[in-house]
């Protein structure tokens, strides 16, 4: 029997993993305790998505377990042992704003939870591939010190800089920078995943995501930028832009394209490898450009206000360079551009309201 374990199975990336992998494994075990509703309120509950997965895939089993609960996780791993060939760790506390309110909760979920999963994989299924959904926040605010140019609706990096053509690559330092507490907890997890690969020789991969998005995102004010923005445009709820004149830029990768990266890595895994993972130059936008696109797709005008105070540790301009991954796995490429992704997000939200 070939089994995949997916943490955060009710979330955006976890649920995409279940959909993508259900016909490729005998059994998919999804670990999720709907902690997202604790972080961001009941409107961000992932229960609807778990039910959708249960209804859609007969080989999907949902287990309600907190990743901080070592004993609870151990029962799952001990039950299946070497039948487990893939662990995708997509569960997290994902907001740098929220982390400042409960730093211990944030760290124990993001860092200790990751350590629990790594150690149990090593003890029970050490031949399994372990994939970790990391974040570009591990680079802290270092990207904000790149030479940036202000354009009409976005910030852009000066075209003379090495990062201009493709974006930021894995050579950017993670030291001497303000990460936010969320960024710091993800750094700890990120380095642990690398170390279990390098020290113990396990097949581990770290994917430092840009803006991860898609139709199954339970977007909230503090997390899920494009999903929440589209939701506000549809429902005519007021939206607030925080700092940088609304010209801050993010690259955006559809959850399917990210999980397809995972799939390529699983088929030819490496040990302790790190990849930046985002929409790159193929799919990116500023806040103002995203608002324009939401209004175009919905036919509604967004009601928004502007605050001069930017979020601590927020990036002014961030575009992922995925050249390294493409060189390692040349058969992979993006399938969803920004407008296709946003249109799917619109359809997904409309179907739930």
Nearest to 12 by CA among 23, 40, 164: 40
Residue 61 has pLDDT above 80, yes or no: yes
Supply the pLDDT for residue 267. Answer: 98
Pull the structure tokens for residue 163. Answer: 């990062």
pLDDT band at 221 (very low <50, low <70, confident <90, very high): low
- Collect all residues with Cβ–Cβ distance below 8 Å to 146 and sequence separation of at least 6: 157, 158, 161, 163, 317
Average pLDDT over residues 282-306: 96
Instruction: List the CATH number of the domain containing 296.
Output: 3.40.50.720
User: Residue 84 above 60 pLDDT?
Assistant: yes
Mean pLDDT for 66-89 is 97
Residue 279 near residue 251 (C-beta atoms within 8 A) = yes
321 in Cβ contact with 167 (< 8 Å): yes
pLDDT band at 310 (very low <50, low <70, confident <90, very high): confident
Residue 320 gets which letter from DSSP? Answer: B
Beta-carbon contacts of residue 240 (< 8 Å; ≥ 6 apart): 304, 305, 306, 307
Q: Say which residue the tokens 């390692």 belong to.
A: 328
Report the pLDDT averaged over residues 306-333: 94
3-state helix, strand, coil in the chain (%, to 5): 45, 20, 35
The answer to whether the beta carbons of residues 319 and 165 sit under 8 Å apart is no
Cα–Cα dist 313/315, whole Å: 6
The model carries a pTM of 0.95
What token pair was written down for 260? 């397809």
Mean pLDDT across the stretch 133-154?
A: 97
**pLDDT tens column, 222-267:** 566 788 899 999 999 999 999 999 999 999 999 999 999 999 999 9
**C-alpha angle 36/220/274, rounded to 5°?**
70
**Residue 176: count of CB within 10 angstroms of its CB:** 7
Give helix 338-352 / helix 225-235 axis angle, nearest 10°: 60
Instruction: Give the model's confidence band at 216: pLDDT under 50 very low, under 70 low, under 90 confident, else very high.
Output: confident
The pLDDT confidence band at residue 218, using thresholds 50, 70 and 90, is low
Could you report the per-residue pLDDT of 28-59, keeping only the tens digit for each? 999 999 999 999 888 889 999 999 999 999 99
Output the pLDDT for position 104. 98
**Could you tell me if 46 and 218 are in contact, meaning their C-beta atoms sit under 8 angstroms apart?**
yes
What is the CB-side half-sphere exposure of residue 261 using CA atoms within 13 A?
31
Residues 68-85 have a mean pLDDT of 96
Per-residue pLDDT, 96: 84
Q: Which domain holds residue 190?
A: 3-352
Mean pLDDT calculated for residue range 98-105: 96
Number of domains in the chain: 1
**What is the token pair recorded at 274?**
């790190």
What does the pLDDT read at residue 353? Answer: 66
- Identify the band that residue 349 occupies on the pLDDT scale cut at 50, 70 and 90: confident
Q: How many CB atoms are closer than 10 A to CB 28?
A: 26
Looking at the DSSP bridge assignments, the partners of residue 241 are: 306
Average per-residue pLDDT for the chain: 95
Residue with tokens 């130059």: 281
The helix-helix angle for 113-124 and 70-80 (nearest 10°) equals: 30
Q: What is the pLDDT of residues 275-293, one digit of tens each?
A: 999 999 999 999 999 999 9
Position 97 scores a pLDDT of 86
pLDDT at 312: 78
Which helix (H) or strand (E) element contains residue 308? none
The pLDDT value given to residue 324: 98
């Amino acid at each position: 029997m070939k089994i995949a374990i997916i943490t955060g199975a009710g979330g955006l990336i976890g649920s995409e993993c279940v959909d993508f992998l259900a016909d490729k494994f005998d059994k998919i075990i999804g670990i999720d305790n709907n902690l997202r509703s604790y972080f961001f309120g009941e409107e961000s509950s992932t229960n609807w998505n778990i039910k959708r997965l249960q209804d859609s895939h007969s080989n999907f089993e949902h287990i309600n377990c907190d990743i901080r609960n070592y004993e609870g996780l151990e029962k799952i791993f001990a039950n299946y042992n070497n039948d487990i060939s893939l662990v995708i760790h997509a569960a997290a506390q994902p907001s740098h704003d929220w982390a400042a309110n409960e730093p211990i909760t944030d760290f124990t979920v993001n860092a200790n939870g990751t350590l629990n999963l790594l150690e149990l994989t090593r003890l029970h299924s050490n031949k399994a591939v372990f994939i970790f959904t990391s974040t570009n926040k591990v680079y802290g605010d270092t990207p904000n010190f790149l030479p940036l140019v202000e354009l009409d609706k976005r910030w852009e990096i000066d075209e003379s800089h090495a990062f201009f053509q493709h974006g930021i690559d894995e050579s950017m330092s993670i030291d001497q920078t303000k990460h936010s507490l969320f960024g710091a907890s993800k750094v700890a997890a990120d380095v642990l995943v690398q170390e279990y690969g390098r020290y113990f020789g396990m097949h581990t991969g770290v994917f430092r995501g840009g803006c991860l998005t898609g139709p199954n995102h339970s977007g909230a004010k503090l997390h899920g930028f494009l999903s929440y923005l589209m939701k506000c445009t549809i429902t005519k709820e007021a939206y607030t832009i925080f700092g940088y004149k609304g010209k801050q830029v993010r690259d955006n990768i559809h959850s399917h394209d990210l999980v397809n990266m995972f799939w390529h890595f699983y088929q030819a895994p490496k040990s302790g490898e790190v990849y930046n993972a985002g929409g790159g130059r193929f799919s990116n936008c500023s806040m103002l450009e995203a608002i324009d696109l939401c209004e175009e797709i919905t036919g509604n005008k967004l009601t928004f206000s502007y605050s001069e105070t930017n979020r601590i540790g927020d990036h002014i301009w961030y575009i992922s360079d995925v050249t390294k991954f493409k060189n390692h796995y040349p058969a992979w490429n993006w399938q969803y551009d920004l407008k296709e992704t946003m249109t799917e997000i619109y359809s997904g939200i409309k179907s739930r309201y």
